[in-house]
Every structure is written in C-alpha cells, then in structure tokens.
Amino acid sequence: MKWAGREVSSPFFLFSLAQLPGCGEHGGARHRSSDVPSQVYSPRAEKIPAQHLAANPKLEATPGERQTPASLIRKSPPTSRERGTPSQLLIPFSPNPPTFFPFCQTSSSQPVRCLEAVNTLPSPVQRSAAGRSSPGLCLPVPRLPGGRRQPREPAGRERGAPGAVPSMRPAPRSLPALLCCCSAGLLLLLLRWRRWKRLWEKVEAARQRQEEGLDRMDKAVRSFREQHPSVNMVSILSLSLPELSRKLRDGSLPPEHVFYAYLSKALQITRETNCITEYMQESETQLQQARPPGKPGLLYGVPVSIKDSINCQGHDSTLGFVKNINQPMAEDSVLVQVLKRQGAIPFVKTNVPQSLISFDCKNLIFGQTFNPLLYTRTPGGSSGGEGALIGGGGSILGFGTDVGGSLRFPAAFCGICALKPTGNRLSKKGVISGIPGQKSVVAAVGPMAKDVESLALCMRALLCEDMFNLDSTVPPLPFNEEVYSSTQPLRIGYYETDFFTMPSPAMRRAVRETKKLLEDAGHTLVPFEITNVDYVTYNFCVRGMFADGCTSFLKKFEGELERSSVGTFFWLAKLPNCLKTLVSWIAKPFVPRLSNIIRSMRTNTVDELWGLHHEIEESCHQFIAQWKKLNLDVMLCPMLGPALGIGYPGKLSVAVSYTMLYNSLDFPAGVVPVTMVTDEDEKELKGYQGYFRDRWDRTLAKAFHGSVGLPVAVQCVALPWQEELCLRFMKEVETLTLKKNQIV
C-alpha cells in the first residue's frame, strides 16, 4: 500500500519521539501553555503542509505552527495505570491515521513520512493485550508541568497483578562478567606457565648438553690414556706458552699429547669450578688437520679457550640469556678465524654472568663459577670462566672481553695476567657486547695467560695480515718487537688511590712494594695526581653506558626467567625519568653515591649525548696533557683485590672505578699479580671505613675479610696504541716480583 505517496510494507511503525525533529530534551514533549492544558502530553507542533490541512479541516494552524487535534487532548492527567513504567510506552497505531509527521531519518538516511497522530492513548488492557508483539509508537516518559518526571510505580507490586506493567529491566550481568574475567585471568596464567615451562625446558636441554660435552671429554681422555699410557701430562702442563709453542713447531712434542693433557686438566678444573659451558667436539677433527703444508703458525697446536660471548661457528653465544639457547652462530668471529689460521685449536667455551654487566660469574643456565684458589670466592667477571680455567691450569691461553674490567678482574682474582688493549687494536667483529652500540665506555678483546711472555706471544700472532684483511677497521699495526724488547729505564707515574674507592691494605701495599722494586731497578717513579674519578664514574661511565635510559640494557631481559645478576640495579633502571629524578633527590642526603648513579641513568637527548661525547674527548685530552707534562712512559695503578666473596660483586658496582677509568679513556691496561694478602693486611682491614662511610664501603670491607693467602695485583697502563710498551712494563714488574719472591 501507499502512505504519503510511498510504498510501505505495513501501516504499523515503531519509532521513538526522541528521533523526531523538534522533540525536547530526553524526548519529552514541549507545549505552548496558552493552547494546550498542562495535562496534555503531545509532541511539539510543527508546520503542516497545505495538502494535509485541506484533507483535515478540523486542524487549525497558527502562523508557523499547527495545533494539537482535539482528539488528542485529555482533560485530566493519566492515572498511574496509564502512566505505566518510566520506560517508553508501546502504543498501537490506527490503520487510518489522519495526519503525518514531517520527515524523519531512518537507518538508511533516506527521509520518509512518519505517522504523527494517534487516535487515543490505549488503556492498560489494550497495552497488556498488545504486549511486545504489536507494532506501535514508542512515546517518551511522561512529565509533569515544569519538566518534572512522574513518580515511579510503588515498590512491592507483584508481576501479573492487576494493573502491573511487565518489567523492562535487563537481567543481571555481574556473574557472567565475573566468569569472563576469571577465565581471562586463568588463560593468561596458563599461557605464562606454558612460556615458563618452555624456557625451563631450554635451560634443562642446555645443561644436559653441557654434561654430555663433559662426558665426551672424559671418554676422549680415557681413550687417549689407554692408547698412550707413557705420556707425561704433568710435564706438558708445566711448560710456558713460549716453550710449548717452540716444541710444537719444531716437532719435538706431538699436538695430540698437548691437546689431551689440557683436555684432561680442563675437565678436572671445570668439575671443581663449573667454568666450561660447552665442549667443541670439532676440535678433535681440527687436531688431525692442524699440521699446515708450509711453515706452522706461532700458535700451532696450542689449545685455547674462548669466552661465551665470542662467536664460534655452530655454538651458542648465550651471554647467560635463555633466549639465546639453541641459537648457534653461523660463522666464527674474526678473532677465532685468525687463531685457527695461526694453528691454535679452540676447544671449550667458558662461563659468563648474565648480560656481561657484572664482575661476578653466574647465570641461570650454567650456574655459579667458583674461584679455583678458594671456592668461596668469585673468579671475577665478566670473563670469569676464563679466569677460573686458566687460573686452575686447565688452559694455557684464553680470550675474553673488557668493558669495565672484565678481563682484569678475573686475572687479578685468580692470580694470572691479562691485557686489555686499545679498543680497536684487535677485531671485535663477531664479538657480542653487553650493551651494543654504546661508545662512551670502550670495549676491547684481549688475551689471558699465566705470564706476560705468553700475552706477548699471543699479540705477535694476532697482529698479522690475516687480522687486518679480515677486518679493515683494525689499523695495520704489527707487533713492535723493538719497543717490547727495549731495556731503557722507564719514567713511571703512580698513585695509590683514586679517592673514590678506598684501597684495601693489601692493594696499597702492592703499589708501594712495586714502586720500590722499580726504583731499585733504576726506573724513575713520579707521583700522579688522579682527580675527578667520581665525576668520571657517574657521568662518563654510568651515564655513557646507559644514555638511553637503560632501554637497550632492559630489552635484553625481556622474557627472561631471572634478573638476579643485576639485582637492585635492574629495578632502578626500569623507573621513568621523573621517578629517577625524585629518588635521586630523596637519596642524596643519605646515600650520595647511589643518588648520583640513579641520576646518571636518566634518558639523554641527542644533544646531551653529543655533549657527553665531546666532554669525554676533552677529558681524555686533559689526562694525556697531564701525562705528557710529567714526561711519563707508563703508569702504575692499584687493582681491586683480593677476590671478593661470592655474591658481593652485585652489591658493589661502584668498586669498578679503578678499571673503568681506562675504558673511558681507551688506554691499554694490563694486570700482573705481585703479592698475597698477609695477616698484617687482615689486621689493618679492621679499621677500613672507606671515603664515604656508606653501606657500600661497609660491604666492601666485609667482602675483603678472610683473604689471607689470596693474590693481589697491580695495573700497568700506557697511552693508546702502545700495547707493546704496556707489555714491556708488565714484564718488568713480573720479573722484579719473581726475583723478590725467590730471595724471600
């Protein structure tokens, strides 16, 4: 049928007056008080087209409006039954409506004529009969004059009682919502549990692979001993690297005898200290192919150990992170490639602390590594596995990295020697850093061995054409034999303390005794005034390494099972800048060093970072100017020691000031053991208070306690790119110390 000239499917329509033009707020009716009584509930009058007025003569229009039809006017307000509930009323239409409302918008956004007039308001009986099944008009809630709502139906009326109106209130949803939230929470816990389970399965698989590797080592050693029972392994292990290298190259000592001698000793040491993470079984194959057709390399037949973070083809470089398990490297690092070309045989990888940013040696995958000299002490870190293995005699030459003392701490704690070269003297290609990309604190790759001559031989072998060709960023500077072999007296600067970390009595004594030995040997010792180490530590080292607000550092821990290796530092790093500033301000009166560290961990802008790099460069130039003003050749410095108790390095991050200074300056620095802790040192330690007398100083005193008989070392430092001079100075210190000990 047609309504208002349009085809419609039914004469009945359901719509709300709130959608109609001209309706008042909340869909309520507005009236002209002069025309309609206050009891009338009618939509606002609208202008009616002329054709509708002609068809309905009873409707009289005022200018601009039409009046309400008399048929819609009630002389009394509706009763409570007629009012119904505060919800909309459903009113059936008459099939022959007299008039139409103006245009309304439908869901299709097309204007249609809407039915306007209603013959009469239905009675409660009609409403009840119509129910929800009858199409009808949804009228708004009735209002009293002044816009007030009609009072609600009195409570207590039962459903189905005469005059009761069916409730439109929706069913309660609290229980389904609660069940939905509980289900979501359980699902999240289940997913988290499954992820943890998968990670723990990876950890168990890595540990199982570690044990299987040790079993293979044991079987290989047993098989060799059965086939060669007359080989004297003890005599092989007693040879220094220069002597061993010479015998291997001239053929007087078979490489197999050397390899299995060190394999046996490495197995013993790792059973005691837990220093080896992976056995490279391909080393046995390499051993059979070690003899080159031409002249053998300087390291021909020498078994070498490799730190976990230095890439070896087919093996993981985990850095103590579970996510890096079962991620074998596609190729060897440049360092390993050069070693192999020189005839060396990498045979094991060694343990590190999680993230490498620690001078302890513990991670969730492989556990704690112990000091071979005293199992209750840490071997140092982050090259702690190397320090323990070489210190225990399980390797004659090893390689690690250093970004704040990671070579020098293990060497000093385990009583061996190490060299941290200038940052780019040896290639770092294929070596994973703890914080990739940061340039403020320069990382370096270096060797570790039992004596200085072994370090020198290693540098001779590595500084070759293979190194320069495989990595063109390494300057082509061959080992300068003339500088290393010189016997000219040296002019040596020295200092006993950096006035930031108070040295232990043994540390101070080590510098004084070495100074006296050098003076007696004809060298000149000049006091060097070291200043602003606190500023360098906070602003150059901490701020430089974490200039991005620790973002890069924290990303490495995402999805990990454990973060205990960095302790409280991790949670401080997670704070936003505003909280770091607040905590720093609150802590400053009580723990000023902690306050400065937290402040230095804030996010820097690009402009601030460039300014920091410029400041570091200027500081380096000033340090060199002071060095040259005194006409120095090298520097004698304290080295933190003796070895700290297990667990203490994580509580003593400020104790890296003696080593990290030379990473910031990018100077070559080596470590040589010169003495051991005495009973007198232990007595003096009772009066140790530190410069700040804070918790860190008290903790450091406890960490030093009970160290009688442990080694103490000194640092030997030279200017950038003068590794040969640094080694020559280290050799002088080592020779004089050995002479003194022989006399004693």
Active site residues: 307, 382, 406
**How many Cα atoms are found within 13 Å in the side-chain-facing hemisphere of 179?**
4
Q: Alpha-carbon Rg of the chain, whole angstroms?
A: 43
Handedness of CA 395, 362, 410, 375 (dihedral sign): negative
The DSSP line for 40-83 is ---PPP----HHHHHH-TT--EETTEEPPPGGG--SSPPPHHHH
Contact 241, 396 (CB under 8 A): yes
CA distance 523 to 493: 11
CA distance 94 to 672: 108
Residue 460 buriedness (CB in 10 A; 0-12 / 13-18 / 19+): middle
433 Cα distance to chain centroid: 13
Phi/psi at 89 (5° precision) = -90, 140
Phi/psi at 724 (5° precision) = -65, -40
* Single-letter amino acid, residue 692: F
Count the Cβ atoms, other than its own, within 10 Å of residue 605.
9
Contact 495, 661 (CB under 8 A): no
* Single-letter amino acid, residue 106: T
Contact 95, 11 (CB under 8 A): yes
Phi/psi at 586 (5° precision) = -70, -40
The β-bridge relationship of strands 669-676 and 711-717 is: antiparallel
Q: What's the DSSP call for residue 375?
A: T
Contact 588, 595 (CB under 8 A): yes
State how far the alpha carbon of 9 is from the alpha carbons of 12, 20, 489, in Å. Answer: 9, 21, 113
Q: What's the DSSP call for residue 601?
A: T
Length of the chain as a residue count:
744
Tokens for 177, please give them.
């919502």
Tokens for 517, please give them.
């030995």
CA distance 520 to 528: 19
Query: 258 by DSSP, 3-state: which?
Result: helix
What 59-63 contacts at long range (C-beta under 8 Å, 24+ apart), as own/partner pairs, is 59/99, 62/35
